[in-house]
Structure 1
Amino acid sequence: MDEQILSAALDLFIESGVEGTSIERIAKRAGVGKLTVYRRWSSKEELIAQAVESLRGEAVPDEPADAPLAEQVERLLPRWADAMVRPRFRAMVARIFGSSAHHPELMAAYWENHVVPRRRTAHALLEQAKREGALSADTDVEVLIDMMVGGVLFRLLQPGNPDAAEMRRYLESVYRQAGLPVGNHSSTRPVQD
């Protein structure tokens, strides 16, 4: 039942934004009563944030601590590229950012449920890159995360629909520009273009 509710909430949010989404409309589309929805979520913003999370999929799994960073990146990039080229995903990202000014509670819920856990994962990976010598010891990991995410979001919001191969090439380029190892490299030294 939760999956039906989350799917209905996400569909309505993508179609109509926050203003066009209500608990009543979500319940009707999901085929449940409003009370069923309210028992699980205290607000439509919280529900929309969790629905958005369901589209993005499970959190990036923790990789074994002893796996070299290049191997971890090589395993994750195809999955990230595939997710980022889906039209529904791109529409969802545009809606989230378009709603943030007038619905800060949605952005706050999205930030807490999605951004913070993934930043922790990224932080751990980048600290590993520092230990492996791929990044300078004085690298400000938080600023580097902001720069990488900013580049990817800018690409996502541009017109046009890149395919998965093009998005993967772009992600690899972002990683290289950040000084991180990409691809099947035996060395942890940054890849040079």
Structure 2
Amino acid sequence: MVDAETRPKGRPRDPLIREKVLLAAQRVYLASGLQGFTFEAIAREAGVGKPALYRRWTSTDELMEDVLRSHALVPAEASSGGIREQLVEIAMATLRLSHSEAGAFALRVSSERGSGGVMFDRYFERFRSVIHSHNRSLVRAAIERGELTPDRDPDTIVLAITGAVLVGTLMALAPSPTADPQAAEAYCGRVVDEVLGKRAAAS
């Protein structure tokens, strides 16, 4: 009988394998959509063997569920300034997201939402309940403080700002927050001023 101390050990398991596979799965989905979302493609992108995936996930649907759950989008930190400063921060966070791999992933999920089933719906429900609700609460607080008039609609204000930033990125009108952060912040400031109105922006 071979002593446990001298028994040959197999290849040690990589403690970071889950993170590597989730990132690889996100990239495979970005490149190939659901049709190309296979264990073979993901294992190749992650640089691991397929058995490592089968030990952790029973199917590609289960793996995609894990990718979506781990794809946490964190709200922008609210500054101690007024609502204009807070909304500019939201616009900048949206701009940074739209120029990132995480943002590209969210947009692709959105474009294939009808074919992604319940798991894609759950992803967007989390997106709304965390990000949009947080941003909307900042506008409501500004209304309560008297910075904005009671007739202003928080949902419309937030969507007008984030939507303008996203469309500006898609049409290559918004400056890159990485290449030119000052121009990006100025762009976000103009968007916020237009949505709030010149009088609110100046106050």
Q: TM-score, normalised by structure 2?
A: 0.67
How far residue 19 of structure 1 moved from its aligned partner, in angstroms, is 1.7
Task: Identify the residue that residue 43 of structure 1 maps to in structure 2.
Answer: 62
Q: Give the counterpart of 2:171 among 155, 158, 166.
A: 158
Per chain length, whose mean CA-contact separation is higher, i.e. which structure has more relative contact order (CA < 8 Å, sep 6+)?
Answer: 1
SS in 2 for 1:114: helix
Q: How many residues align?
A: 178
CA RMSD of aligned residues (A): 3.4
2:26 corresponds to 1:26: no
Which TM-score applies when normalising by structure 1?
Answer: 0.70
- Is 1:190–2:200 an aligned residue pair? yes
Is the contact between residue 27 and residue 33 of structure 1 (CA under 8 Å) also seen in structure 2?
yes
2:158 to 145, 162, 186: 145
| Equivalent position of 2:189 in the other structure | 172
- What amino acid sits opposite 1:59 in the alignment? V
Residue number among 106, 110, 127 corresponding to 2:140 in the alignment = 127
CA distance in structure 1 between the partners assigned to 2:84 and 2:160 by the alignment: 19
1:117-155, Cα deviation, whole Å (9 max, x unpaired): 001111111112212323211222123333333222222
Q: Which residue of 1 aligns with 2:99?
A: 85
Pick aligned residue for 1:60 from 72, 75, 83:
75
Partner residue of 1:8 out of 2, 8, 24: 24
Structure 1: runs of 5+ lacking an equivalent = 182-188
* Amino acid aligned to 1:69: I
Q: Deviations over 1:26-57 (max 9, x none)?
A: 35544323231349x96344234235x25xxx
Q: Percent identity?
A: 18
Q: Which protein has the larger Cα radius of gyration, Structure 1 or Structure 2?
A: 2
